[in-house]
Amino acid sequence: MRSTGILSLAMAALLAGVTAGNALAQPKKGGTLTYTYHPEPTALSTIATTAVPVALISTKIYESLLEYEGAGLTPKPGLAESWTVSPDSLTYTFKLRAGVKWHDGKPFTSEDVKFSIEQIALNYHSRGRTYFGNVAAIETPDAQTVVLRLKAPIPYLLRAFQPSETPMMPKHAFSEQEIAEKKVRQARIMQEPVGTGPFKLKEWRKGSHIILERNADYWKPGKPYLDQVVLRVMPDGAARAIAVEKGEVDLAPTSALPPAEMQRLSKLPHLVASEEGSEGLGPIMWLEVNLRDKPLSDVKVRQAISMAIDRDKLVDVIWYGNGKPARGPIVSGNPNHFDASLPKFEYNPQKAAQMLDEAGYPRGAGGVRFKLTQNFLPYGEEWVRQAEYIRQELGKIGIQVETQSLDMGGWLKRIYTDWDYHFTSNFTHNYSDPTIGVQRAFISSNIRKGASFSNSMDYRNPRLDELLLKAAGMQDGPERKKVWNEVQAILRNDLPVIFLIEIGYTHIWNKRVQGLITNGISMYTNWDSVWIQ
C-alpha cells in the first residue's frame, strides 16, 4: 500500500510538473540563443547586400517603421506608432514613436526616416526602386511625423517597411562625403552597426562568431527576453548538423543544414523542424524555358513536359520532403494573392506522350521525338539530382535530354546574356507582393539582355503585360485579387516556365527555444519575443 502511495504521490508531482510546464508558457528572461548559418555575413546591414546571412543577423539590430503579424504579413505598429493612408492612396502619414534611441544614445527622428528612404533604400537596396520609385516627396513637418507623397499608388508600400527591406539607418552615422561619393556600402556602419533594434553588436570575430547583446534601452518595455544572440560560423555542413544535434547550437534557420541531415535531425525528439515562418519570402522553383525556337515555342510541348514530371516525387525524393508542388507563379503560402482554387499540375506521362503525338512530334529512331539540352542552377547536389530526374522522365516520353553543367558565372551568362539554352532549373523569391517578385519574370518589358532573373524566356503576352501593370497600381483587395487570379490562370495555361515546386525553407531548432515563428518572415524579424526555456 505504501509503495502505491509513493507512486501516486510521484504521479501527482509529475502531473503538477506537467501542468506547471504548460502554465509556464510565460516567457522567461535571460539566456542566449545561438544559431548557425553558412556562409558568414559579409556586412551587418542589408544595404550592403540582401544575402540571407546578412539579413538574418542585421534584422536583430535594425528595425523599420512597421512590424508584421501572421503569414500574410499584416502590418502592426513598430517604430511608427500609427499611420494613415489618404483615400486616393497617394499620401501616407506615419506618426513616429517618441523616446526611441539609437544604440549610440541619439534620438531617432523623422529626419532619419526621410534619410533612410531617400538616400539609402532607394539608392542602395536591391529592391529599393521597386518599393519607392513612385515616391514624389517625403515631408517631415515635425520630429515625430513623416509624410510620403506618391506619384502613383504603390499597393505593397505597407509591406516594404520590413527590417531587411527598409531598415532605418541613423543619418548622423554617415558623413556627407560618404553620401556624396556614393560610398555608403563602404561606410563603417556596415561593419559596426548602430540601429534601434533589441540587440546591438558586442563582438564580431571573423571566421568564428558574432555576439549581439541585449539593448537595455530598447523602446519596448521588458524586451527583449534574451540576453544574447550568437551566430556561430561553421563552414562544414556535417559539423553544423552535429552542433544542432548536440545542443551546442539552438537554431539552424532557412535550410542551413544539408537536406539529408535535416531529414535525420527532424526525427530527433529534442528538435523541431518546421517550414513555417518563411511565407513572406515565397521561394519558388521552375524550369525556365527558352520560347524562341521550336519545339519549345509550342505550348503543347510545354504542357506535355509539365505533365511528364512527378512533382510529388521531386519533393519527396530529391528535396527530402522540403517543399510542396507548385500550383502556379504565386506560392500557395501567400494568402493575399494565391488563387486557392487552382488544382495541382497533373502528372500523366501517357497523356503527355499522346499530346506530343498530336502536336506533330512522332517518335523516331530509338523512340526519340527530339533532343533538348538542359542546364541547372549550380547551387549544389540537389540541383544535379533534380536535373538527372527530369532528364530521365522526359526520356520516357521521347524527349532526349542532354545535361550541361556550368558554374554560376557561366550559367548567368548563358541564360540571361546569351539566351542560348533550351531549359534550365531556376529559383526566385515571390517576396511579399507578386508585383515585386512575379512581375519581373514574365512582363515583356523585362526582356533585357544581361539582367539576371528577368524574362529570359522571351515570353510576350500583351494581355498579361496589361494585367501586371494594372495590378501594380491597385490597392490590395478583391479587385486586385481578381487581376492576380487571371494572371495565374494565364501563366498556368501558357507555361512560359514549367512551375515545379515551392521549395521549403526548413528551420530546425531546439525545443527549449520558444516564440520563434511569429510571421511570414520569422527569421528576418527582430526576435525580441523569443525566449529560452
Partner 1 sequence: MRRLATFWLRYRRNRGAVAGALALAVILALALLGPILYPTDPFDMVGRPFSLPFDRFPLGTDVAGRDILAGILNGGRVSLLIGVLASLSATIIGVALGAVAGYYGGRIDDLLMRTTEFFLCIPSFVLAVVLVAIFQPSVVTVTVAIAVVSWPSVARLARGEFIAHRDREYVQGCRAIGMPDWEIILLQIMPNALPPIIVVSSLMVATAILTESGLSFLGLGDPNLVSWGYMIGVARTVLRTAWWMAAIPGVMILLTVLAINLVGEGLNDALNPRLRKR
Q: Which residues bind partner 1 (CB under 8 A)?
A: 237-238, 258, 260-261, 264, 313, 317-318, 381, 384-385, 387-389, 391-392, 402-407
Q: By CB neighbour count within 10 A (0-12 exposed, 13-18 middle, 19+ buried), where does 120 fall? A: buried
Query: Which of 35, 320 has the CB closer to partner 1?
Result: 320
Nearest in space to 304 (alpha carbons), one of 405, 393, 435, 233? 393
Residue closer to partner 1, measured from CB, 403 or 417: 403
SS3 percent helix, strand, coil of the chain, rounded to 5, is: 35, 20, 45
In the numeric block, the cell 503579424 is attached to 69
CA distance 533 to 531: 7
Q: How far is the CB of 296 from partner 1 (least distance, A)?
A: 20
Residue with smaller CB distance to partner 1, 380 or 477: 380
Query: What does each C-alpha distance from 244 to 6, 237, 249, 263 come to in angstroms?
Result: 38, 11, 5, 13
- Could you give the CA distance from residue 29 to residue 228 in angstroms, rounded to a whole number? 11
CA 193 – CA 445 distance, rounded (Å): 38
CA distance linking residue 147 with residue 157, whole number of Å: 13
Q: Which amino acid is at 191?
A: Q
Are 374 and 391 in contact by the 8 Å Cβ rule? The answer is yes
Helix (H, G, I), strand (E, B) or coil at 399: strand
- Least separation in angstroms between residue 323's CB and partner 1 is 15
Q: Are 432 and 482 in contact (CB under 8 A)?
A: no
Work out how close the CB of 392 gets to partner 1 at its nearest, in angstroms, rounded to a whole number.
5
Gap between the Cα atoms of 181 and 308, Å rounded: 54
**Cβ atoms of 402 and 374 closer than 8 Å:** yes
Q: Which is nearer to partner 1, 402 or 479 (CB)?
A: 402
Q: Which is nearer to partner 1, 175 or 403 (CB)?
A: 403
Residue 287 or residue 530: which is nearer to partner 1 going by CB?
287
What is the closest distance, in whole angstroms, from the C-beta atom of residue 381 to partner 1 in the complex?
6
Spatial CA neighbour of 468 closest among 486, 455, 451, 448: 486
Least distance to partner 1, CB of residue 257, Å? 11
The pairing of strands 370-375 and 399-403 is parallel
Name which of 220 and 391 has its Cβ closer to partner 1.
Answer: 391
Which lies closer to partner 1 via its Cβ, residue 347 or residue 389? Answer: 389
CA distance 459 to 504: 27
Q: Tell me if 34 sits within 8 A of 250, measured CB to CB.
A: yes
Q: How far apart are CB 497 and partner 1 at their closest, in Å? A: 22
Residue 263 or 514 with smaller CB distance to partner 1 = 263
Which candidate, 404, 281, 379, 375, places its Cα nearest to that of 334? 281
Q: How far is CA 424 from CA 42, 373, 397, in A?
A: 29, 9, 18
- Report in angstroms how near the CB of residue 400 gets to partner 1 at its nearest: 10
497617394: which residue's cell?
90
* Shortest separation between residue 264's beta carbon and partner 1, angstroms: 6
Which of residues 67 and 261 has its CB atom nearest to partner 1 in the complex? 261
- What whole-number distance in Å separates Cα of residue 408 and Cα of residue 453? 13
- Min dist CB 402 to partner 1, Å, is 6
* CB 268 to partner 1: min, Å: 13
Residue 203 or residue 248: which is nearer to partner 1 going by CB? 248
**CB of 366 vs partner 1, minimal distance in Å:** 14
